[in-house]
Structure 1
Amino acid sequence: MAEAHSAVAFSFAITHEGWDVNFDREVLHLVWASGVRSWKKRLARFKNNLKNGVFPAPVHSLWATVAVMAGCHFSGLNVPYAKELLQLMPEQTVKYQLATCAGISLACWLGITYSMRYTLKLLFMYKGWMYEERGKGSRISLATKLWLLAVKTLSGPSKPMLYSFQGSLPRLPLPSVRDTMRRYLLSVKPLLNDTQYERMERLAKEFQNGIGIKLQRYLILKSWWSTNYVSDWWEEYVYLRGRSPLVVNSNFYGIDAILIHPSKIQAARAATAIHTILQFRRLIERQELEPILLQGLVPLCSWQYERVFNTTRVPGIEADKIVHYSDSKHIVVYNKGRYFKVPIYYRHRLLKPCEIEMQMEQILNDTSPPVEGEEKMAALTGGERALWASARLEFFFKGTNRQSLDAIEKAAFVVSLDDEPFEFDENVPHKLDKFGRSVLHGKGYDRWFDKSFTLCVGSNGRIGFNAEHSWADAAVMSHLWEFSVFDEAAGEWADAPVMGHMWEHVISNDCRYGPDGHTQGNPEFKPPSPIRLQWKFPPSCIVAIEKSNQVVQSLINDVDLRIFMHSAYGKGFMKTCRVSPDAYIQLALQLAYYRDAGKFSLTYEASMTRLFREGRTETVRPVTVESAAFVKAMCDKTTTLDERVELLRKASKRHQLNYQDAMCGMGIDRHLFCLYVVSKYLEVDSPFLKEVLSEPWRLSTSQTPHGQTSKLDLRRFPKCISAGGGFGPVADDGYGVSYIIAGEDLLFFHISSKKTCPDTVSWVISFWTMRRTVFLEQEIKKRKYS
């Protein structure tokens, strides 16, 4: 009825009595308000783009420059080029003199500003600081000290906006083929026997001295021409051209801060989470979100934040595409097989949590049944991409289905109000496993897998998210999730005596709960009611939905996911040993995998390249000559404790160096990937690249970043942490391992594999990882190594 009412909001007719105009004042007012909001956003974007375009100089410094220049001119001081320009003026009046001074000031100001900007860009190209030890007792080189001083001086006193540093970030450097071949051969040495290694060495040299020269020339040209020589091809060929289902294979998940449970009321928790997430969107739109600065000084690229909201992946027959909408004033909620369009703005403002809770309660209390095919429709987004693309063109191209699909795809994000609880009990581990599986895939049809992310809310008030991977990497979603979890968790302890001014500011936005578990605050008006989306599915569409659902069900039934909490110790102990926590965990995983499989396998660890503009990820290869030596020593009873600890230190340093190289643009796999893409364009066959790119990653690992929000203070709120998230296995006979270093004494591991593979069992690798981390601690403590 709402759609029909809107359709006749304005009508014009000519009759024998004259012409007649009918209009609905309320609807026209909504149209006017929408236009005003749109223009306000455009003006705000223009203002922000102007500030970012001249950063690090503040805009108001231009007026100071004009004032100084004009003062010098009228006081009789010689201003460069002023006399020459005044001679070109028709008059020598004060007005023309001021205009001349303003023009000279603008030219000088722009020259100084862009000199600072490009100097800052050159400074950010320096990466020597990453390779120097940090902490107490470490010495900083003179070059790094001078670099720190220069960066601090040029960054200026003005507070940077989200995209302020984008123009100052350097391009991703292109390694030489020789360096990449050297690093690659070193990485596969512990994986191959002597005969295999000699063969691979021969193939690498043939490639380096042959077709590799030609392919590298094209990449050099691309690195000069494009902002980032990897990112666009990586997005297109790794993600968008992939035809396999998104569920399990691509999408990833994140779960709640499980050590706290602020509200057990589903509608209240959903409302608070929605409101907090929308506040994060507002910070992005206004560019008020603080850019992440390593060491408080070096910025990370922020371009991925643009597509967090109002974004969807649209299926295609041969390739998908990412569609981002500039604005959205609604979300879409799925509950018990029905879809609802929920307005989030009313009377020129964002709805408050208590008002959103009323909307959620309306949906939960709605008893209308889903139409045939509606309940499992989202299985299309999780199944084969070509089938979904065909069904979308045939059944969702026009009419009612088109309007309803538009509402989903143009929504800020999707919310799923589940009818099952998300549970956690430290003494019942399988409950956390079930929690993870719920947000990884749910029932297979209650997550809109194409959307940038789906907020999942359990019937007991716990939350999680399921995110599509092509638009951004997990670190961006982790930032959003950390912001959301912290904002709620801070509200739970609002009355704690340790709350300072900052915490009072954080919780002053009615994001807390009352004693009854409902959101605090009083609604100022009755919020707009959710609108039930309408669908009409012919029998052939229902067949397509069921076909996709069968594919999805076979995938999710094959997933073996285990999550376990390691509370014996955390990064606090690792740091006392002067060992990188990430390297420590990677070595424990290598040791666990070797004990499980009896061999080493190609291992993937994700590292970011966001120190460069439009950077995404690079691969760190944790299996090294040093790590293999350490693992074998740990399995050899004849090796002494001192030898094991020494090998641990060497392996840790090698891993840390490889990680630093990857972050600094000197990785292996992205360069090889781009060389392979060029070879395909040129229709040139390379035995070396073909073999390298076909190697399976049987152990795929990733660390969930933590502590990206500057507001998060774990010393005051030790339970205010997320348990991280995970992903499905990359290889059919491999493991997917995600871990989060949640605190000084807490780690979470998310381990996935496929049940149909007889060689992989997630609980086995979980058991060995737990045993190995504890065993490593015991070994180090015996040695008293620090």
Structure 2
Amino acid sequence: MAEAHQAVAFQFTITPEGIDLQLSYQALNQIYLSGVRSWKKRVSRVRNSLIKGVYPASPSSWLFVAIGILATMYMQSDPSMGLITKIQQHLPLSLHMSLSAQGQTMVSALVFSTLLWLSLILALRFCLKLLLSYHQWMFEKHGRMSNTTKVWVPLVRLLSSRKPLLYSYQSSLPHLPVPAIQDTVSRYLESVRPLLTDPEFKRMSDLANEFESNLGNRLQRYLKLKALWATNYVSDWWEEYVYLRSRGPIMVNSNYYGMDFLYVTPTSVQAARAGNTITALLLYRRKVNREELKPSRVPGTVIPLCAAQCERMFNTTRTPGVETDVLQHWLDSEFVAVYHRGRYFRLWVYRAGRLLSPREIEDQIQRILDDASPPLPGEEKLGALTAGDRIPWAQMRKQYFSSGVNKRSLDIIERAAFFVTLDDEEQGMRGDDPEGNLDRYAKSLLHGKCYDRWFDKSFSVVIYKNGKSGLNAEHSWADAPTVAHLWEYTLATDAFQLGYTEDGHCKGDVEPSLPQPQRLVWNIPAEVQAQVSSSLAVAQALADDVDCHVFPFREFGKGRIKKCRVSPDAFIQISLQLAYYRDRGGFCLTYEASMTRLFREGRTETVRSCSNESCAFITALESGETEEECRRLFQLASERHQNLYRMAMTGAGIDRHLFCLYVVSKYLGVESPFLKEVLSEPWRLSTSQTPVQQMNLFDLKNHPDFISLGGGFGPVADDGYGVSYIIVGEDMVNFHVSSKYSCSQTDSHRFGVQISKAMQDIMALLSADPKTSLSSKGTGQPQSKKLT
């Protein structure tokens, strides 16, 4: 075979005349080109480290400082006020002996210039950090910017005017502040007031006051000490104790999914869709590695967001442990792992340092699809180990996957850039039952067959038989907005940039000598096979219990909501409260995810959407109060929700602070009845908005069918709902609702109907007001102000 011949770089034979050495120049050239890619990456990392290390200055600015100092000295002036002379006196003896007096002065001036330049960089960075610590702009009413903010905006623009790399702002982002304990306790009591009876609230208030005046202050001191030492006082504990220490299945309970376009499938050829999707993902990885992605910002502003979560996006896996899992990340990987009909393959995506073309990857994928070899014993359902409980998987991994062929094959999966499943089913909104098919599509991405995804990988891409795609993401390494940014880029690059031929195949040429995808080899003993069956039973029971419902809400979108002078997110959140009240006959503790990426290494905070104001509005609406009174109460509820969201974003949330205080109490070995009760409260309504971050990639005006479906997650509480929504364009909101069949009180389809009705009822209420009628020219109050 040609590829086997080329794999041998040299051959030698021993003859009576000596050693006959035969070199394969083609093989050596392949090795050389592969090494060139590795060295280019190293050089790029060094260059980027220098550029972002001196940001907001530039490396070339050192030259201007040095020239300025030398020019000043040439004019017989000492800008250093004697420091250059002192530096000259402390130069090494070797320089004194080898350089003239003029040369020593020159070296001393360059040393002083460098020190001055570094000092200026630190001063600029400190100023930028101070500016980014200012958050009052977020609380100002739309169109009423304070004088402080008017001065602040151009200063931020001035200090961040240079084109930044992906991680340029990291060292300038402020640290997450620790709120005052009395503020957090007060906010907590206010958040639970509408959910408790008077005696229950009196009891909780007593617990809170006892905690605040005694144990709380002691725990707070330790937490402030950690905040002084750590980059972020929440994130490491949040990652470890909320995600990595969980011993239950991560499938459904933690992992989440992202969907393809709603109406469009760019090609029905499975291998071609895989080729373009894999290529687009690797192009995104290249941008991350080279830091060519623009730093994310608060929408409509110049304010940067932390980019730390991008670091572990690729070449990352979650490895199981008995007590806690560990995230492992490799700097690079030149292959992806592929699963098809019970077999695992390694697919090389680079050839001699060159990324394969989409057509070449399609050809490789087609080879896998055409491979008729059966799975090895125990191979087909091996992935169920990642879907079941973590402790059995950790034990099996340590005992049976730590050496031999099993270790080599497992290493390939774990070190792969990402995981790809070539699913043998068809999915999407299709056929005679489009609504039911959307629900089945969501369940397939959330858990599949419970063994045909590798749930430990940072993300697994799923390509279906009819060309539909999606992904399943592990949650511990990053939050949904980071994955959503990746998936937006992937979908847009696949459909609009890479494209397909008229017959649905990828574009490009194929090198005929590409090696075959490598089939992974396993030796699965009976004990592992038994555990695979046990883990599969646990995962299957969990999967069968999930009730998923996905539906596009087409009656109106953010365009009409904003004409009513209302924040779209507040409108939807209050609608969800109304829907839950009608569905269950009461209110519940509600979780809305908010990001804290205004701070370095920030992740999420909880917005407790069920407030006194939202409950007052819903009670008034359902009891038949006048429309005018209901509109007044809705406005108060909307403003309150926006204020809660802003407080969460700016580090004044409730739940992460209480969570960290609880962790400190566990380290100290003390019990807090207040913290124990707070952290055991169920979130019966867990919600999250999937942000659309790169609308410039999608031309919805000329291609209105290329609408994203967003993604979703499983229910958090056994008797509750999980709701994810994405606001697409001006006229649509896509909802993903999940619950459990085992709970007789919940029904995802019924709740979906209630959401639609609540949205329409609130819109009818607001539209009846002449001040906020659809003829109004106002555009309403957006979620964020234009601070460009």
What's the TM-score, normalizing by structure 2?
0.93
Of the structure 1 ranges 362-371 and 657-666, higher mean CA displacement relative to structure 2 is found in 362-371
Cα shift at 1:93: 5.1
**2:588, 2:505 → 1: CA distance?**
51
Match of 1:208 among 191, 201, 212: 212
Q: How does 1:62-101 map to 2 (within 5 A)?
A: 62-80=62-80, 81=82, 82-86=84-88, 90=96, 91-92=99-100, 94-101=102-109
Of the structure 1 ranges 729-738 and 716-725, higher mean CA displacement relative to structure 2 is found in 716-725
**1:7, 1:570 → 2: CA distance?**
58
**2:144, 2:757 → 1: CA distance?**
36
Cα shift at 1:149: 1.6
- Look up the SS of the partner of 1:293 in the other structure: coil
CA contact (8 A) 2:85 2:108 kept: no
Q: How does 1:48-63 map to 2 (within 5 A)?
A: 48-63=48-63
Q: Which amino acid aligns with 1:627?
A: S
Match of 2:568 among 581, 584, 595: 581
**2:528, 2:25 → 1: CA distance?**
40
- Look up the SS of the partner of 1:174 in the other structure: coil
Cα shift at 1:67: 1.9
Match of 1:718 among 690, 699, 704: 704
Of the structure 1 ranges 287-296 and 385-394, higher mean CA displacement relative to structure 2 is found in 287-296
Note closer, same or farther for the CA distance 1:21–1:193 as it changes in structure 2 (3 Å cut): farther
Note closer, same or farther for the CA distance 1:155–1:353 as it changes in structure 2 (3 Å cut): same
What's the TM-score, normalizing by structure 1?
0.93
- Look up the SS of the partner of 1:737 in the other structure: strand
What is aligned with 1:196? 200
Instruction: Number of aligned residue pairs: give it.
Output: 762
Cα shift at 1:70: 1.9
Cα shift at 1:88: 6.1
Of the structure 1 ranges 667-676 and 419-428, higher mean CA displacement relative to structure 2 is found in 419-428
What is aligned with 2:261? 257
Cα shift at 1:84: 4.8
Note closer, same or farther for the CA distance 1:539–1:16 as it changes in structure 2 (3 Å cut): farther
Q: Which amino acid aligns with 2:185?
A: M
CA contact (8 A) 1:486 1:721 kept: no
Match of 1:219 among 220, 223, 229: 223
Cα shift at 1:19: 9.8
Match of 1:484 among 490, 501, 508: 490
- Look up the SS of the partner of 1:72 in the other structure: helix
- Look up the SS of the partner of 1:623 in the other structure: coil
**2:603, 2:423 → 1: CA distance?**
33
Match of 2:235 among 213, 216, 231: 231
Of the structure 1 ranges 393-402 and 181-190, higher mean CA displacement relative to structure 2 is found in 393-402
1:445 aligns to 2:451 (yes or no): yes
Cα shift at 1:571: 0.5
Cα shift at 1:486: 1.7
What is aligned with 2:45? 45
What is aligned with 1:301? 306
1:313 aligns to 2:318 (yes or no): yes
Q: How does 1:716-755 map to 2 (within 5 A)?
A: 716-755=702-741
Q: How does 1:641-660 map to 2 (within 5 A)?
A: 641-660=627-646
**1:214, 1:583 → 2: CA distance?**
37
Match of 2:408 among 378, 393, 403: 403
- Look up the SS of the partner of 1:778 in the other structure: helix
Q: Percent identity?
A: 50
What is aligned with 2:668? 682
Q: Which amino acid aligns with 1:722?
A: S
Q: Which amino acid aligns with 1:693?
A: L
**1:61, 1:163 → 2: CA distance?**
20
CA contact (8 A) 1:455 1:463 kept: yes
What is aligned with 2:580? 593
- Look up the SS of the partner of 2:764 in the other structure: helix
Unmatched runs of 5 consecutive residues or more in structure 2: 773-788
Note closer, same or farther for the CA distance 1:576–1:422 as it changes in structure 2 (3 Å cut): same
CA contact (8 A) 2:595 2:602 kept: yes
What is aligned with 1:503? none
CA contact (8 A) 1:244 1:384 kept: yes
Note closer, same or farther for the CA distance 1:34–1:621 as it changes in structure 2 (3 Å cut): same
Cα shift at 1:44: 1.4
Cα shift at 1:49: 1.0
1:122 aligns to 2:145 (yes or no): no
What is aligned with 2:622? 635
Match of 1:665 among 651, 655, 671: 651
Listed one character per residue, the Cα deviations across residues 311-354 of structure 1 (whole Å, up to 9, x for unaligned) are 00000011000000010000011111111100011132111111
CA contact (8 A) 1:634 1:644 kept: yes
What is aligned with 1:521? 508
CA contact (8 A) 2:3 2:514 kept: no
Cα shift at 1:462: 1.1
Match of 1:471 among 465, 474, 477: 477
Cα shift at 1:634: 1.7
**2:46, 2:56 → 1: CA distance?**
17
CA contact (8 A) 1:161 1:287 kept: yes
Q: Which amino acid aligns with 1:60?
A: S
RMSD of equivalent CA atoms: 2.4
CA contact (8 A) 1:450 1:468 kept: yes
Cα shift at 1:45: 1.0
Note closer, same or farther for the CA distance 1:562–1:120 as it changes in structure 2 (3 Å cut): same
What is aligned with 2:389? 384
Cα shift at 1:152: 1.1
- Look up the SS of the partner of 2:48 in the other structure: helix
Cα shift at 1:73: 2.1
- Look up the SS of the partner of 1:339 in the other structure: strand
- Look up the SS of the partner of 1:299 in the other structure: coil
Cα shift at 1:514: 1.2
What is aligned with 1:268? 272
Listed one character per residue, the Cα deviations across residues 492-517 of structure 1 (whole Å, up to 9, x for unaligned) are xxxxxxxxxxxxxxx3xxx1111111
Of the structure 1 ranges 260-269 and 62-71, higher mean CA displacement relative to structure 2 is found in 62-71
Cα shift at 1:309: 0.2
CA contact (8 A) 1:191 1:600 kept: yes
Cα shift at 1:162: 0.2
CA contact (8 A) 1:86 1:92 kept: no
Of the structure 1 ranges 81-90 and 339-348, higher mean CA displacement relative to structure 2 is found in 81-90
Cα shift at 1:79: 3.2
1:545 aligns to 2:553 (yes or no): no
CA contact (8 A) 2:7 2:27 kept: no
CA contact (8 A) 2:719 2:746 kept: yes
Listed one character per residue, the Cα deviations across residues 657-694 of structure 1 (whole Å, up to 9, x for unaligned) are 00000000000000000000011111101110111111
What is aligned with 2:184? 180
Listed one character per residue, the Cα deviations across residues 393-442 of structure 1 (whole Å, up to 9, x for unaligned) are 12211111111101000000011111111221497211111111111111
**1:548, 1:19 → 2: CA distance?**
58
Unmatched runs of 5 consecutive residues or more in structure 1: 492-506
What is aligned with 2:468? 462
Cα shift at 1:709: 5.9
What is aligned with 1:496? none
What is aligned with 2:145? 140
**1:438, 1:352 → 2: CA distance?**
29
Cα shift at 1:86: 4.8
- Look up the SS of the partner of 1:614 in the other structure: coil
Note closer, same or farther for the CA distance 1:287–1:192 as it changes in structure 2 (3 Å cut): same
Cα shift at 1:524: 4.7
Q: Which amino acid aligns with 1:171?
A: H
Cα shift at 1:293: 1.7
1:370 aligns to 2:383 (yes or no): no
Note closer, same or farther for the CA distance 1:84–1:520 as it changes in structure 2 (3 Å cut): same
Listed one character per residue, the Cα deviations across residues 709-756 of structure 1 (whole Å, up to 9, x for unaligned) are 654454454333311000000111111111111121000110000101
Note closer, same or farther for the CA distance 1:2–1:131 as it changes in structure 2 (3 Å cut): farther
What is aligned with 2:775? none
Note closer, same or farther for the CA distance 1:17–1:723 as it changes in structure 2 (3 Å cut): same
**2:693, 2:758 → 1: CA distance?**
26
**2:39, 2:546 → 1: CA distance?**
48
Cα shift at 1:288: 0.5
**1:199, 1:159 → 2: CA distance?**
55
CA contact (8 A) 2:317 2:328 kept: yes
Note closer, same or farther for the CA distance 1:184–1:14 as it changes in structure 2 (3 Å cut): farther
Of the structure 1 ranges 664-673 and 344-353, higher mean CA displacement relative to structure 2 is found in 344-353
Of the structure 1 ranges 199-208 and 515-524, higher mean CA displacement relative to structure 2 is found in 515-524
Note closer, same or farther for the CA distance 1:708–1:670 as it changes in structure 2 (3 Å cut): farther
**1:23, 1:547 → 2: CA distance?**
53
**2:397, 2:85 → 1: CA distance?**
68
What is aligned with 2:681? 695
